[in-house]
Chain A
Amino acid sequence: MSAPALELDRVSKIYGAKAARPVRAVDAVSMSVAKGEIVALLGSSGCGKTSTLRMVAGFETVSEGAVRIAGREVNRVAPAKRNVAMAFEGYSLYPPLTVRENIAFALKSARLPREEVARRVAEIAHLLEIEPILDRYPASISGGQQQRASLGRALIREADLHLLDEPMGQLEPALRALLRGRIKHFVKERGLTAVLVTHDQTEANALADRIAVMEGGVLQQFASPAELKDRPANLFTGTFIGEPPMNVFQAQARAEGDALRLGLGEGVALDYPAAGFEPAVRETILKRGRVTLGVRPHAVRLDPAGAPAEVAANQWLGDQSHIAASFAGGTLVTVEHDRARLRPGDRIGVRFEPADLHVFDGETGAALSHGGRAA
């Protein structure tokens, strides 16, 4: 078995370690990226994504832990010797060179034949739709164009690892969607390994084989997009992934005969027959008592016989309705694909199937069960 393309082994980054208030930007992150895999780092601003990439590229020292590229520990290896390509978050084109020269630069340094360089630049330019600006200088092109040029400069190389830091942050949605598909095809076709930083879940879902969700420098979960959605490891991932975000309620669990009764606020209680939960899961939930319930908006069923809720707002987004309702002392959002004829003040009933229910520990937020099965 060949070594993973990239392996982070309890890697931490502490800025200003000796200063009065050190910043732990990355905290004991461990993950392993297989060769040919595309991995997205997803997380809110300031959660340590760029810091992680920079440690992999070698521009930041690794404060703790080990970074291994293709099986070799690179903590003390110069960036030039890591065989890594990177597209930077800010623009980083060399001003005195044209876009074409910038993109071709690494290949020229590697002394590739001129025709080969020209062919590959043309291919990349076509891929990223930057053919018309190839002979312009960085100062005279737009932000989005600079971003694509620096993405091109990274993709053109045949490195062991491609690090892409928000490569499409400046582009409009239509172009993003187009380039997403093309980039994925390009990377997969050549068997490249890529680690991509993004804020955009859609982008992460579309491009990545696996997504690493980070928050506060800590890796929350590293899994495929489907798994992140169906089996979030904790409350943070549960609410972070998915649009609109998961509905969350505090609940008090107790046994009601054979059934499991989840008491929400304002006297609302949900009863689930024993069949809905694995016995062990039911046991755990009862033992915890205080739990947090999560239900994705798409999974909320409208059912006149269900628990009572009152419509607060109803928005038709062109292809789906987002209905916000006050429910059990909180707000519940549900998504309907038909244009629901509901007005603020209307009384509705809602129901959550056991299969759609995520249960988290009320204190730690760790997932206890998904759809009635143990997390």
Chain B
Amino acid sequence: MDHASPMTRWLKGLALTLVVIFFMFPILWIVLMSFQTNETILRMPPSVVFTPTLENYQALITGKLVSSAGVLEIQFMRNLMNSVILSVCSVALSLLLGVPAAYAFARHKFRGSEDIAFTLLSFRFAPPLLVLLPLALYFQDLGLANTYIGLIWVYQLICLPLILWIVRGYFEDISPDVEHAYRLAGHSWFSTFRRIALPLAGPGIAAAGLLAFIFAWNNFVFALVLASADKQPVTVGALAFVTASGIQYGQIAAGIVLSIAPTLALALYAQRYLVEGLSLGAVKG
């Protein structure tokens, strides 16, 4: 890498720039849109020169959508809060269940353990709609429809397999003899798990948790089918912007900015873990 010619370096730089522009441009455009009114957004020809306005954000935060047809109540902040509650709780539950399970699958091979682990992974491949409709009926009967608990339960379909498989790879990477040595020094199986295995797999667990958080945050269909307005996350709540009087582009943009902000911040903060966690998961899984 170090001895690459200036030409290759330049080309590489160019390629990277193109990729970054390709992926970042929509985000940039949306950020710009969020500071404009519907009129400036829709003018022809489009232009990047405009007087920024905080109107859109104001409308979202106060929950009053002012349009030509009148004032519409929306619950964007409530949706955002729901997203936070659902994602955080689902990931927390998944970590609680998935990390010990991953350890068990990594360390104790028993008959059928591979099959069970694979079955859990296969939840990720199944088309969600296939399970959702029957699930919706059951949830109605059980009284779980439109509850946080019910949604968090269903979100385990997203988070648990992810955490299980990524973290398992990390545990498998730790030499069992490290743990054995610790146990011989007079420690129980559980304290070995807590004091040796968990800290060594720490980065992997963090990466898996973050990924699971992002997936949970971005989920749409589960909440669409199983939750009504007061439990809906932003992904579903954003539908409210499509109103009878037209589409409120500025407000949608502001909504998008607000809703991707947490995941974006998390992803940037934990970039290194994410890449490690993802590539390891890919190799191991």
A contacts, CB < 8 Å to B:
18, 57, 59, 78-82, 84-86, 88-96, 105-106, 109-110, 150, 153, 157
Contact = CB atoms under 8 A, between A and B. Distances in A.
B184 A18 contact: no
A18 B150 CA distance: 40
A153 B181 CA distance: 9
A235 B233 CA distance: 77
Contacts of B184: 57, 79-80, 82, 84-86, 106
B64 interface: no
Contacts of B188: 78, 80
Contacts of A78: 183, 188-189
Contacts of A57: 180, 184
Contacts of B180: 57, 59, 79, 86, 88, 92
Report, nearest first, the 9 A-B pairs whose CB atoms are least far apart.
A92-B177, A106-B185, A88-B177, A79-B183, A92-B181, A80-B186, A92-B178, A109-B185, A80-B183
B187 interface: yes
A106 B175 CA distance: 19
B3 interface: no
B197 to A, nearest CB: 11
Interface string B186-201: 1111000000100110
A88 B186 contact: no
A59 B175 CA distance: 13
Interface size class of B (residues with CB under 8 A): 10 to 19
A201 B14 CA distance: 63
Nearest to A83: B186
B182 interface: yes
B111 interface: yes
Contact of A94 (B176, B181, B186): B181
B247 to A, nearest CB: 54
Contact of B181 (A82, A95, A110, A150): A150
Most buried by A among B111, B186, B199: B186
A287 B199 CA distance: 68
Nearest to B179: A92
A145 B183 CA distance: 22
Contacts of A91: 175, 177
A96 B111 contact: no
Contact of A90 (B111, B175, B183, B199): B175
B175 A110 contact: no
B185 to A, nearest CB: 4
